[in-house]
Chains A and B, each alone.
Chain A
Amino acid sequence: MKILCYKNSNEINFDYLLNVISKTKHKIGYASGEIDSKALTEFNPDLIIHNIPDVTEFPVKTKAVSININDTDHDKSFSFTNPLSKQYVGECVFLRDLNISDNDIQKFQSDVIYIGSPAVFKDLLCFLTDAKIKINFKFFSHEPHNINGYCGVCNSLDYGKYYKYAKASIAIDKDKNRIRDIIISDGNPVLFDGANTSECISKIQKAISEDARYTLVDFNKDHILKNHTIFDRAIQIFKNVGLTSIAEDIRKQKNIEIGNRK
């Protein structure tokens, strides 16, 4: 089968979905920007997967089945982000490689890690960035922050390594996808409810000085790996449109990836 992946805009879940599809044995073509109908005819895809908003079919007519990753109300449209969408597939985690060489351990080590802008942590941020407290707090963001702990930008494929080698990985308690990411990376989650700063500080201090590990009742690593990976969402999408052979290929690939992590 020939699959055309057309990327209209940068969306992390769509990128992850394309990454999963690229691991199957099918012939994959990639396109973005202006659609060259001649090249499209030459490639002659059987399936087109795209994230063009507000359309229920790929704009250029072909015999290919069109899977739309957008919020339109159509049986072949799927949404990762809008729970009100008819074909909402739900949030999911991406399986990142966690292996590093011994020489790289120091690079990924920290006392506390956060990926994103830490402004959401309010008072807790004052504690984490206080130079007198001497906590090795690292955070990464595309937006420069002129405060202690800002370490520039990091590769999204390395997120799991930072979680794994940090003594504490902080997250807001409602940020379920980030928490899942931390859990599947064998990170140590310390959740902040937005109000109880002193309790969160105490947990962080215990994690740093006593190597305290925290478990979350609602988040089980095996359950997440079994049900909430991008592989599971891809399988769900392809099954829904009747492409069970691709769904089966993806299931096999998932088993290989999970096996490699053990």
Chain B
Amino acid sequence: MKTTICVENLSYSPFNYEAISDVNRITEKSIEEICFASLDHTHPFMQLNTAIFSSNAIDSSRDGVIIASTINTANVILSCASSSVKLLYLYDLEWMFQPVSYDYMYNILTNKNLRLVLRSEDHIDPVFNLCKREPEAIVPEFNLEEIWNLL
């Protein structure tokens, strides 16, 4: 499936490690069209066996899925005119570590064009408390095949 993973950058983070490892695993044995779109032009911190584009390439994504992992990248993918499914795989409750505007978060998390998947069951209550929305699924470790099965 055509998949674009939108990240803040490609330097080390737990999410980037999981996502790059999973993409490398899939591209080794299949010809799925998977790419990364990075908001910051950083060199990947580990070997990445697929294409990397800048964020403006997200607009070219058609009939696939675009995955964001943060509130900020979710905002970027929502602002793109693309026929692909837009999905937020919320890796962390990021507002608990740095102050984020409630209006901004609420408007993104309740956007009907954004499908929501969480990483942990422990995140269900805080997200529901914030925006009264329940996730479609919990995927504890980033796994594209599990996400594709939801679509």
Contact = CB atoms under 8 A, between A and B. Distances in A.
Do A and B pair up? The answer is yes
Interface residues of A, number: 24
Interface in A94-148: 106-107, 131, 134, 136-138, 140-148
A107 B97 CA distance: 22
A181 B96 CA distance: 26
A106 B98 CA distance: 24
B105 interface: yes
Contacts of A107: 103, 106, 110
B95 interface: yes
A107 B102 CA distance: 9
A196 interface: no
A31 interface: no
Max chain B C-beta neighbours (<10 A), residue from A131, A136, A145, A150: A150
Interface stretch (B24-32, B55-63, B81-89, B126-134): B126-134
Nearest to A149: B129
A35 interface: no
A258 interface: no
Given A142-B99, A153-B100, A154-B101, A148 B106 contact: no
A151 interface: yes
A151 B125 contact: no
A153 B97 contact: no
A147 B126 CA distance: 9
Interface of A: 106-107, 131, 134, 136-138, 140-155, 158
Interface of B: 95-103, 105-106, 110, 125-126, 129-130, 132
